[in-house]
Amino acid sequence: MARNILVVEDDNNISNLIKLYLDKEGFEVRLAPDGGKAVEEFQAQEPDLVLLDVMLPVLDGWGVLSRIREHSKCPVIMLTAKGEVDDRIHGLEMGADDYVVKPFEMKELLARINAVLRRTEIPDDTQKKLSFDKLTINLDSYELIVDGKKIDTPPKELELLYHLASTPNRVYTRNQLLDEVWGFDYFGDSRTVDVHVKRLREKVEGVSEQWALKTVWGVGYKFELKQ
């Protein structure tokens, strides 16, 4: 079944262009030209994801997002011409899942949509905890336990390690990790991944002979689980 996306945008040229592109990618797309229609469309049929402009007539994007979050955890990507950090933080704090600044490339928008959909596919009742020899990665409590000791770890480092370890021996490219772990952060900057892996290695390297955080030269990284 095709994923249903609600595009809330008062500029017809932009909304029609997004619809044309996403239609070709196999999505089912509905359009709402203002905040009031957006709420009506959302209540009539909850979509799989909302692309939500901030500057809207009738009810602005913040108001629409607030109405959505009263009853739903449906993923929302904000679309706006405002690129200031404070605006982005405000949107994320209100419950947005990502934030795309206009003008944007359609390929980038598609990558963000797919990344957010993947991140939100895990059911809420799924326990986000992985255990290996002398290593526990707990994404529920955001704790990293190495050889029985709790190690202070920034959230993104922990999320990166969890993502790699959740599919042992699978090789991820840097761009895949940026797309699937960071989402909106540092989009396209592969050096970010290298820095985080280096910091993780300082915390976990040499702890066990049963697993290792490995570099696959010319490709990316993997969490190697030895048989």
What digits encode the pLDDT tens for the residues 80-96?
A: 876 666 666 677 677 78
The b/e string for 211-222 (b: 16+ C-beta within 10 A; e otherwise) is bbbbeeeeebbb
State residue 145's pLDDT score: 95
Asked if residues 94 and 69 have their Cβ atoms less than 8 Å apart, the reply is yes
State residue 140's pLDDT score: 82
Distance CA 100, CA 112 (A): 8
Q: 4: how many CB neighbours lie within 10 A of its CB?
A: 15
Asked if residues 139 and 166 have their Cβ atoms less than 8 Å apart, the reply is no
Radius of gyration of the chain (CA): 20
Asked if residue 198 has pLDDT above 90, the reply is yes
User: Across residues 170-174, what is the average pLDDT?
Assistant: 91
Among the listed ranges 10-14, 30-34, 97-101, 181-185, which one has the minimum average pLDDT value?
181-185
Among the listed ranges 59-73, 177-191, 193-207, which one has the minimum average pLDDT value?
177-191
The amino acid at residue 27 is F
- Mean pLDDT for the chain overall: 87
pLDDT category of residue 122 using cuts at 50, 70 and 90:
low
User: Across residues 215-226, what is the average pLDDT?
Assistant: 92
> How is the chain split into domains, by residue range?
4-119, 129-225
Q: Please give the class, per CATH, of domain 129-225.
A: mainly alpha
Distance CA 18, CA 7 (A): 8
Asked if residue 35 has pLDDT above 50, the reply is yes
State residue 139's pLDDT score: 86
CATH of 4-119, one of 3.40.50.2300, 3.30.420.10, 3.40.190.10, 3.30.465.10: 3.40.50.2300
